[in-house]
């Protein structure tokens, strides 16, 4: 499943345009089981480039994107809908405490109406955004300090508005339509909620008829770091790290959340499917999570941005052609700055992940006398190598490393134009060997160049 990922490809008007259609068609051609279109506003408040579902005028554009995806792929299509509060460059932000009962009633109405538009546009499902820094997540939060029936420490009160929204959406779209909920399994902030509360939310959502629960983490305003003059971006603190974990974090770090929530649901007799997301990039890890019953679906966001053909390649037995995400979060940085979201591994100038051109049959090759050079000095291993050849472009280079004679591991990648790499994660008392593997636009790999061995000075 492709979880929602804003593209910043729309204008501030929120209409679907050609770039958005092309982005989702590109994802669709990779044939994930389910694709969730990026968060779209249920209301008209300003928020830079963001899709909207806040009036009927958005339906034809959304329908055109749905039709374009369906014409190339059997992938099921969902749309995520979101309500958010106002923020200003000064650092001021509206809080849920500022909302009157009438404002809350309006939010409930807006969700119901937007969900109907999503169904009219032809999506298979609507997903209610209750995660991260946005309005419904702030109601669920343990930091919700309203003093009325919509807040306080009482769990039932914190659940009230999200439950009202889910019930309204169900009334509006009918019983024969799929409603998913995306929410945090853990807020990852001081005094925030953990998987304990999240498990109770799950049973309420399941009891109210949610069809799947997609578990995220963190992404809160409470620990975000303000850049003077810029709107507060809720993924700049530790909770932001937990939401979009970088290469510094282990794979699958948030799986214990979907696992705990799923167990709680099953113990209470609910079969509602649960989605795990967060640095799940290999078929081995995905299968292990599913086989161990720790989730029912695997969400894969940045890996599918880096290589939308991942599902198809795995299905066709070509795991060795996947272009791996390196989790350097350049895409996240682009989102933060309201720039068009793209992957740093794509060729410069490409608006979307490139396609494998017809006619290329051979894997990339190294020049006859090509050699990998490695030096270890001042705590850094510096690698240089010659350009490989390919029938079409050399798309990139995988950097592989083995420690003290151990297994080879992919540690990073370089784009096709780069013929050098610096490894800053080397310890001077460890023996390292490196290899470089060139890959083309189809992900076909060369034989490894190397190995080149280095050892630092004794400690």
**Residue ranges binding ligand SF4 (CB under 6 A):** 302, 305-306, 325-331, 343-345
Please say whether the dihedral angle defined by the alpha carbons of residues 343, 348, 351 and 356, taken in this order, is positive or negative: negative
CB–CB of 19/68 below 8 Å? no
Q: Which of residues 83-142 bind ligand FMN (CB under 6 A)?
A: 129, 131
Smallest gap from Cβ 28 to ligand FMN, in A, equals: 17
**CB 119 to ligand SF4: min, Å:** 31
Cβ nearer to ligand SF4, comparing 136 with 398: 398
Q: How far is the CB of 111 from ligand FMN (least distance, A)?
A: 15
**Residue 283-322 contact track with ligand FMN, rule CB under 6 A, x = bound:** -----------------xxxx-------------------
Q: Are 372 and 413 in contact (CB under 8 A)?
A: no
Cis peptide leading into residue 451 (ω within 30°): yes
| Site for ligand FMN, residues 17 to 56, rule: CB under 6 A | 38-39
Burial track 143-164 (b if 16+ CB lie within 10 A, e otherwise): bbebeeebbeeeeebbbbbbbb
CB 278 → ligand FMN: shortest distance, Å?
5
Residues 197-236: x where in contact with ligand FMN by CB under 6 A, - otherwise, as a string: -------------------x--------------------
Please give the Cα distance from 193 to 409 (Å, whole number). 36
345 or 452: CB nearest ligand SF4:
345
Residue 355: half-sphere exposure toward Cβ, Cα within 13 Å: 11
| Cβ-contact 359, 440 below 8 angstroms | no
- Shortest distance, position 119 Cβ to ligand FMN, whole Å: 20
Distance CA 324, CA 30 (A): 15
Q: Does 5 bind ligand FMN (CB under 6 A)?
A: yes
3 binds, among ligand SF4, ligand FMN, none (CB under 5 to 8 A by kind): ligand FMN
Question: Does residue 4 bind ligand FMN (CB under 6 A)?
Answer: yes
Q: How far apart are CA 366 and CA 372, in angstroms?
A: 11
Q: What is the DSSP letter of 148?
A: S
**212-216/178-184 β-pairing:** parallel
6 near ligand FMN, judged by CB under 6 A: yes
Task: Tell me how far apart the terminal alpha carbons of the chain are, to the nearest angstrom.
Answer: 46
Q: Using CB distances below 5 to 8 A depending on partner kind, what does residue 143 bind out of ligand SF4, ligand FMN, none?
A: none
Give the footprint of ligand FMN on this chain (CB under 6 A).
3-6, 38-39, 80, 129, 131, 182, 216, 243-244, 277-279, 300-303, 331-332, 335, 341
């Amino acid at each position: 499943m492709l979880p929602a990922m804003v593209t910043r490809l729309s204008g501030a008007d929120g209409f679907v345009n050609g770039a958005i259609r092309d982005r989702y068609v590109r994802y669709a051609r990779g044939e994930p089981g389910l694709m969730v279109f990026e968060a779209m506003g249920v209301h008209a408040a300003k928020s830079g480039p963001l899709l909207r579902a806040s009036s009927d005028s958005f339906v034809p554009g959304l329908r055109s994107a749905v039709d374009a995806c369906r014409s190339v792929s059997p992938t099921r299509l969902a749309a995520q809908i979101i309500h958010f509060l106002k923020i200003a460059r000064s650092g001021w932000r509206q809080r849920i405490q500022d909302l009157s009962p009438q404002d809350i009633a309006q939010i409930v109405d807006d969700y119901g109406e937007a969900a109907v538009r999503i169904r009219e546009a032809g999506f298979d499902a609507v997903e209610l955004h209750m995660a991260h820094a946005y309005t419904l997540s702030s109601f669920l939060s343990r930091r919700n300090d309203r003093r009325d029936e919509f807040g306080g420490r009482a769990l039932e009160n914190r659940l009230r508005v999200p439950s009202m929204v889910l019930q309204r959406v169900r009334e509006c779209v009918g019983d024969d339509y799929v409603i998913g909920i995306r929410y945090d399994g853990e807020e990852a902030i001081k005094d925030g909620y953990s998987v304990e509360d999240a498990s109770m939310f799950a049973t309420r959502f399941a009891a109210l008829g949610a069809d799947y629960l997609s578990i995220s983490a963190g992404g809160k305003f409470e620990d975000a770091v303000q850049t003077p003059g810029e709107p507060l971006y809720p993924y700049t603190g530790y909770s932001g790290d937990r939401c979009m974990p970088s290469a510094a974090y282990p794979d699958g770090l948030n799986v214990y959340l979907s696992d705990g929530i799923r167990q709680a649901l099953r113990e209470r007799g609910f079969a509602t499917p649960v989605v795990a997301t967060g640095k799940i990039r290999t078929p081995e890890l995905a299968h292990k999570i599913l086989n161990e019953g720790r989730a029912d679906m695997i969400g894969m966001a940045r890996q599918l941005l880096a290589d939308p053909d991942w599902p198809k390649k795995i299905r066709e037995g070509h795991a060795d052609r996947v272009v791996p995400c390196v989790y350097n979060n350049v895409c996240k940085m682009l989102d933060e700055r309201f720039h068009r979201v793209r992957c740093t591994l794509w060729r410069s100038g490409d608006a979307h992940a490139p396609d494998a051109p017809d006619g290329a049959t051979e894997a990339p090759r190294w020049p006859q006398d090509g050699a990998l050079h490695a030096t270890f000095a001042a705590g850094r291993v510096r690698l240089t190598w010659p350009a490989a050849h390919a029938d079409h472009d050399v798309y990139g280079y995988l950097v592989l490393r083995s420690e003290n004679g151990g297994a080879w591991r992919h540690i990073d990648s370089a784009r096709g134009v780069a013929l050098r790499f610096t490894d800053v994660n080397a310890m001077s008392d460890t023996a390292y060997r490196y290899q470089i593997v060139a890959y083309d636009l189809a992900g076909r790999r060369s034989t490894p160049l190397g190995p080149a061995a280095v050892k630092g000075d004794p400690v």
